[in-house]
Amino acid sequence: MSGLLTPYKPSAAPWDEARAASFLRRTSFCPSEREIRDAVSAGFGATLENLFAKRDCRDHNELDELGSPLALRENIEALRGWWLRRLALTARPLSGRLAVFWHNHFATSHVKVRSAPMMLQQLRTIERHAFGPFEEMLIAISRDPAMIVWLDNDDNVKGRPNENYAREVFELFSLGLGAYAEHDIREGARAFTGWSQKNGRYRFNRGEHDYGSKEVLGSRGDFDGDDVVRIAIAQPACASFIATKLLREFVCPAPDTELVDAVAEQLRSSRFEIQTTLRAIFGSDMFVNAPRDTPRIKSPVEFVIGVVRSLEIDAAAQQLSEATSQMGQRLFEPPSVKGWDGHRRWLNSATMLVRLNGVTSAVKSDRFQPSRLRSEYDLTTPDAVDAWCQRVTVGPDTRIDLPPAPDDLDERMKDRLRFLLSAPEYQLA
């Protein structure tokens, strides 16, 4: 394993509250006090393993099962709210983050697909393959009816190939710009001909498929879509591309080449097992001991879900949906196939205002229960309250000057939270 990803050793730098909180913040959502304490007492190893406990992203509880009836109502807002509520309540927040990550990667929008059940189906596919191997994910997505509609692959027929899907497979899903030629797209499109859908079901249209020989990315053969996927993944550019994406999501917006190479190597050697790669990243010394000033700006979903999870607010689905939409991230409706650019583009002084106002209303709402929290975590003094507030927001290791606050403990908690959640530090993960 590359030197950059040497595993973290608790003996060298102890696994304390600060590290645990920071770790959880970056691998899942902003953690609650309960999660921090459990992580500290369980130790680093167990906490790391716990993130990957089950490959299945779905919680398989009652809330999860509401997806189907909701989708059939053809109400995408309700489905969005449902997904967000699942994220708020899930026991496996890393799976939640990954599902949103892949959703952004394959950026399919309901606005064109116009079918909530198909969008749900794509989400389920994503959740099935989120932890890898990536090859299976890409093969499954190529057959996903929503994707077929979104990138016009049902218009892709023998003799009149539609290159949209092939182009995006190379440009956006596996290789990135410049790692292929127009010729590869043309030939690649032929491989996907006949891959269509009817009424939300994948249908292989034999008559429309081009069985001929094709030359794609230097290989020649009677390729079909699956073959093209495998060829693409075998390209060196693919590992770097996926590595960069993972690093942008979990580490920093502009990872340097060495780090990308190290992760790419990890991907290759694990045959693109996302789980293994993430374990290597998260378990590395570099990651656990990252400086507090990690420059990654939280997406609206991370921000909102982080607030409700760490403050243990039982938020209604609709409010979660409205909040994230107003902050510029409407799940199921990315602005284009490139997805959300993220990082600084999430913020300008209006979305900032939405975040600030959102935080105020969250703390003021009656779903936030300071007394319950104080009794559960035994926060009986002003200092205890302050410390808790800091732990569940910006983290205990952040130096930040707190303004004066009232003595009444409930009011103090609210005040502190309003301040900390509005602080610029909180916007960074």
Partner 1 sequence: MKMTRREFVTRSVGGATLIASGATLPGFLTRTALAASPDRDGRILVVIQLTGGNDGLNTVVPYRDDLYHRARPTLRVTDQLALPLEMDMGLHPDMSGFKRLFDDGLLSVINNVGYPNPNRSHFQSMDIWHTASMSPETADDGWLGRVVDAKTTPGAPPYALHIDDAALPLALRTRETPTPSIRSVEAFQLADENSAVESAIAAIRQSASDDLLFVQRLAVESCRNARRIEQVANDVGASTATYPDYRLAARLRQVAQLIGAGFGPRVYYTSIDGFDTHAQQALSHGTLLRELADSVAAFVDDLRARGLLDRVAIMTFSEFGRRLNENAGQGTDHGAAAPMFLISSDARPGVHGGAPDLTNLLDDDLRHRVDFRSVYAGVLKNWLQVDHRAVLGDFAPMRGVWSA
Partner 2 sequence: MSRFSFRFVFGAIPILALTALSNAADKSAAEYVPSGAVAAVSLHDGAGSLERLKAWMQRSGVEDARLIQYVVESPQYMQAQIFAAGFAASAKMDLWQAASAILGRDVTIAVFPGSNKEAEAMVVAIASDSAGVARLLEMAHTLTGLTRDGAPDPQRSFKVGDNVVYRAPPKALHCFTGDALIVTNSERLMRVALGSETKLASDAAYRAAEEAAPKDAVVVGYANLAALREIPKLKAALEQKPREPLPGMLVGGWQQHLRSADEVTAWLAPSASGLKLQLATRGGADLPTTHAGYAPTDAVQYEWRPDELPRYLSQIQIERDWGKLFNEREALLSLPAVGDLVRFATNISTILGGMDFVNDVLGNVQAPLRLVMTRCDLSDARVTPSPILPGFALIAPLRPDLDEMFERKLFAAAQSAINIININGGQQGMPSFLSEVDRYRGYRVLFSEYVDPPGTEGMETAAGGEAFVSDKPRGSLRYNFAPCVSIAERQLLVTTSPQLLRDLIDAIDAHKSAPEKASRPTLDAVDLDFATLADLLRDNRAELVINRMLQEARTREVAEREIDAFVELLRYGRSLRVALETRKDGLKAVAELDFRAGADK
- For residues 335 and 341, what is the distance between their CA atoms, to the nearest angstrom? 10
Q: Which is nearer to partner 1, 265 or 322 (CB)?
A: 322
Pick one of partner 1, partner 2, none as the site partner of residue 13 (Cβ within 5 to 8 A by kind): none
Question: Is position 382 an interface residue for partner 2 (rule: CB under 8 A)?
Answer: no
Residues 307-336 that bind partner 2 (CB under 8 A): 314, 316-318
Binding mask 359-378 for partner 1 (x = CB under 8 A): -xx-----------------
Residues 29-68 that bind partner 2 (CB under 8 A): 62-63, 65-68
Stretch of 133-141, 215-223, 228-236, 398-406 contacting partner 1, by CB under 8 A: 398-406
Pick one of partner 2, partner 1, none as the site partner of residue 60 (Cβ within 5 to 8 A by kind): none
* Choice from 9, 54, 73, 114 touching partner 1 (CB under 8 A): 114
Q: What pairs with residue 216 in β-bridges?
A: 219
Binding mask 110-139 for partner 2 (x = CB under 8 A): ----xxxxx-xx--x---------------
Q: How far is CA 306 from the centre of its chain?
A: 13
Structure tokens at 118: 């198909």
Residue with tokens 């596919």: 125
- For residues 138 and 173, what is the distance between their CA atoms, to the nearest angstrom? 8
* Choice from 354, 389, 392, 413 touching partner 1 (CB under 8 A): 354
Stretch of 43-51, 176-184, 186-194, 357-365 contacting partner 1, by CB under 8 A: 357-365
Binding mask 298-327 for partner 1 (x = CB under 8 A): ---------------------------xxx
Residues 345-364 that bind partner 2 (CB under 8 A): none
Are 132 and 95 within 8 A, CB to CB? Answer: no
Pick one of partner 1, partner 2, none as the site partner of residue 145 (Cβ within 5 to 8 A by kind): partner 2
Pick one of partner 2, partner 1, none as the site partner of residue 30 (Cβ within 5 to 8 A by kind): none
Binding mask 242-281 for partner 1 (x = CB under 8 A): ----------------------------------------
Q: Which is nearer to partner 2, 234 or 316 (CB)?
A: 316
Stretch of 79-87, 242-250, 282-290, 350-358 contacting partner 2, by CB under 8 A: 79-87
- Helix 33-51, helix 274-282: angle, nearest 10: 130
* Choice from 11, 199, 336, 349 touching partner 2 (CB under 8 A): 199
Question: Is position 3 an interface residue for partner 1 (rule: CB under 8 A)?
Answer: no
Point out which residues bind partner 2 (CB under 8 A). Answer: 62-63, 65-75, 78, 81-82, 85, 89, 114-118, 120-121, 124, 145, 198-201, 314, 316-318
Point out which residues bind partner 1 (CB under 8 A). Answer: 109-112, 114, 293, 295-297, 325-328, 330, 333-336, 344-345, 347-354, 356-357, 360-361, 399, 401, 403-404, 418-419, 422-425, 427-428
